[in-house]
Structure 1
Amino acid sequence: MKEGLRLDYEIGPEIGRGRFGTVYRCSSLASGEEFAVKSVDKALLSDPLDRDLALREAKVHQLAAAGNPHAVQIHATYEDADSLHLVLDLCPGPDLFVRVSDRAPLPERDAAAVMLPLMEAIATCHRRGIAHRDVKLENVLFDGRGELKLADFGSAECFDDERRWAMTGLVGTPFYVAPEVVAGREYGEKVDVWSCGVILYMMLGGMAPFYGESAVEILEAVLRGNLRFPPRIFRGVSPAAKDLIRKMLCKDVSRRLSADQVLSN
């Protein structure tokens, strides 16, 4: 990592905040181009494991995003006495959660316009041996030109042919997490396809496919996997779209589509 973030960028207002870091708008002093910078406070990384995770996130993110047009890019990394800094694509548009909350249910053509670049981003990650593991509406962003950008690789995990089905840990967000994750079994990259299936269902139906009043109830509903399409809500959705959702939200992982298969459907 380089030193001297402020020698290269002018730091603007805060635009977001997370567990360890704060995101600011910034601009290149050389070109004037605008970016976002995620600054991680080292004081919050007192646990060596947390520091390792923060450094690992940057490395995995760079691997996943390089040449991947629908993933948030890392343009530079810096480290100083107080913080780690990642200079990222600026995505000022409302995220997909806001768009779905404001407009759902979406017409199928609008949902397809989101799913195509999202699945291209996921498929690229999977070809590179990376599972995102926290795909959700809030992590689907849009840049100043309206281009979709997959964000937040803090939960991402690398795998290879030997470890393809050996990821573990309850990682992700209850509404979107796959049943094999909830069950505590080893799992593979198709957990991301399940999460994308949830997103497609929410875009077309305006509601989550598996619901509960608490995180525990949501996870229990995910484990049951009782997928329904209430006629009052889904009467205008085509049989093809519902069939695709069924194939993405298939509890049998061997029958669940891969990201590449979703793209070819």
Structure 2
Amino acid sequence: PGDIFINEALHPLAPIEKYRGSFSEVYLVRERKTGNFYALKCVKKKQLHHSNLENEIKVLKRIKHDNVVGLEDFYETRTHYYLVMELVSGGELFDRILDRGVYTEKDASRVIKQVLEAVSYLHQNSIVHRDLKPENLLYYSSEENAKIMISDFGLSKMADHGVMSTACGTPGYVAPEVLAQKPYSKAVDCWSIGVITYILLSGYPPFYEENETRLFSKIMKAEYAFHSPYWDEISESAKDFIRHMLEKNPNKRFTTEQALSHAWIIGDTAHNDNIIQSVGEQMQKTFAKSKWKRVINATVVVSRMRRLQLSHADPPAPAPAPAPAPFFFHLNVLVLKCCCMHLSFLFNLFHFLKCVCVYIYMYL
């Protein structure tokens, strides 16, 4: 429709409904000359945060890696930006895991190795992703041995000088130094990979709290545990790998090169037992399949922390629970509050209209 398909070399086939958003849509397109398929991301200029998109384009033009979703071309019109992206059709990481009958530590190790190789490449090119999380990890195709692809570089940063200060990311995956409003480095990506590894082996996140204040405090102090029975069958090598990735001190935290040399990644220490039942059950309880949401931006987190005057002191201990609490519980509370506000508005509107009708009936 309209001027969306502005390049005659591309033939539109169908919208990809899964990626339809408020300001962008993604279409499956075919290059007329070669017959190759691509994903055309159409972004509305109106109400768009231009700096994020411009930054993403600048980063994508600079990199090319087998495990990074590539930018093939870029166009611009009066109303839209158009990004011709490499077509990645295998689905999100967690969806694929939940659809499997067999899933092992070795499978998780292979996934993390590919992520590490891609992030190592980014770091070598002075690029920090800053928003690594499972929903940004996609399978290239539906084939069983398809490779993992990293996507969404909207928050990435070309850190030629190595140090950054802007708070950004997703709280469940963001490093302590970001929440503490300290200058940070590429080590924040390694922290995020540690969180992802933890989830891949248990089905739930290492930092979970219904209360935001306690959640942020736990992240900043790197307070997590390997709960029984979920971690009973997981190798000590995997736990050691996670400990090095979730190291609070960024200077002591594993780099991507160190992580790639760990026995759990390159050796035979990863167990080959099927853990799909325990991991799958926890994933379904904690995360809604195909409903991953970007939670509040870390900038909002920092402002909330200022309002709450969060200190490093230990908060009141929560009551022990037999199983991990849902990570996004607070979002459900927010939705409930919004619903109540809408109901209250409708009730007041109904009462007002009723009064108007009575007045008309009595006096007109």
Query: Please, which moves more after superposition, 96-105 or 69-78?
Result: 96-105
- Residue equivalent to 1:25: 28
Q: TM-score, normalising length from structure 2? A: 0.66
Offset of residue 245 of structure 1 = 0.3
Looking at structure 2, the residues matched to 217 and 112 of structure 1 have their Cα atoms a distance apart, in angstroms, of 30
Query: Please, which moves more after superposition, 236-245 or 4-13?
Result: 4-13
Confirm or deny that 1:13 pairs with 2:15.
yes
Letter in structure 1 aligned against 2:20: R
Looking at structure 1, the residues matched to 42 and 91 of structure 2 have their Cα atoms a distance apart, in angstroms, of 21
Distance 1:215 1:135, change over 3 A: farther
Distance 1:106 1:183, change over 3 A: farther
Give the match's secondary structure for 1:231. coil
Confirm or deny that 1:264 pairs with 2:261.
yes
Map 1:221-232 → 2, pairs under 5 A: 221-232=218-229
Letter in structure 2 aligned against 1:167: M
Superimposed CA distance per residue, residues 92-143 of structure 1 (whole angstroms, 9 cap, x where no aligned partner)? 1121132345569941111011011110000000000000000000000111
Is residue 72–residue 150 contact of structure 1 (8 Å, CA) maintained in 2? yes
Is residue 25–residue 36 contact of structure 1 (8 Å, CA) maintained in 2? yes
Map 1:94-243 → 2, pairs under 5 A: 94-100=91-97, 106-144=103-141, 145=143, 146-160=146-160, 163-164=161-162, 166-213=163-210, 215-243=212-240
Is residue 174–residue 215 contact of structure 1 (8 Å, CA) maintained in 2? no
Query: Please, which moves more after superposition, 209-218 or 253-262?
Result: 209-218
Distance 1:222 1:99, change over 3 A: farther
- Residue equivalent to 1:56: 55
Is residue 20–residue 40 contact of structure 1 (8 Å, CA) maintained in 2? yes
State the number of aligned residues. 254
Instruction: Name stretches of at least 5 consecutive residues in structure 1 with no aligned partner.
Output: none
Offset of residue 238 of structure 1 = 0.7
Q: Which structure shows the higher strand fraction?
A: 1
Offset of residue 52 of structure 1 = 3.3
Looking at structure 2, the residues matched to 224 and 100 of structure 1 have their Cα atoms a distance apart, in angstroms, of 30
Query: Please, which moves more after superposition, 143-152 or 9-18?
Result: 9-18
Is residue 106–residue 204 contact of structure 1 (8 Å, CA) maintained in 2? no
Query: Please, which moves more after superposition, 95-104 or 138-147?
Result: 95-104
Letter in structure 2 aligned against 1:85: Y
Is residue 178–residue 222 contact of structure 1 (8 Å, CA) maintained in 2? yes
Looking at structure 2, the residues matched to 39 and 91 of structure 1 have their Cα atoms a distance apart, in angstroms, of 16
Confirm or deny that 1:73 pairs with 2:75.
no
Looking at structure 1, the residues matched to 167 and 97 of structure 2 have their Cα atoms a distance apart, in angstroms, of 26
Is residue 23–residue 36 contact of structure 1 (8 Å, CA) maintained in 2? yes
Looking at structure 2, the residues matched to 170 and 103 of structure 1 have their Cα atoms a distance apart, in angstroms, of 36
Distance 1:257 1:18, change over 3 A: farther
Is residue 105–residue 202 contact of structure 1 (8 Å, CA) maintained in 2? no
Distance 1:259 1:233, change over 3 A: same
Instruction: Find the partner of 2:41 among 28, 38, 43.
Output: 38
Looking at structure 2, the residues matched to 18 and 185 of structure 1 have their Cα atoms a distance apart, in angstroms, of 33
Instruction: Name stretches of at least 5 consecutive residues in structure 2 with no aligned partner.
Output: 263-364
Is residue 96–residue 141 contact of structure 1 (8 Å, CA) maintained in 2? yes
Q: TM-score, normalising length from structure 1? A: 0.89
Superimposed CA distance per residue, residues 222-249 of structure 1 (whole angstroms, 9 cap, x where no aligned partner)? 1121121012101111111100000000
Looking at structure 2, the residues matched to 223 and 103 of structure 1 have their Cα atoms a distance apart, in angstroms, of 35
Query: Please, which moves more after superposition, 117-126 or 9-18?
Result: 9-18
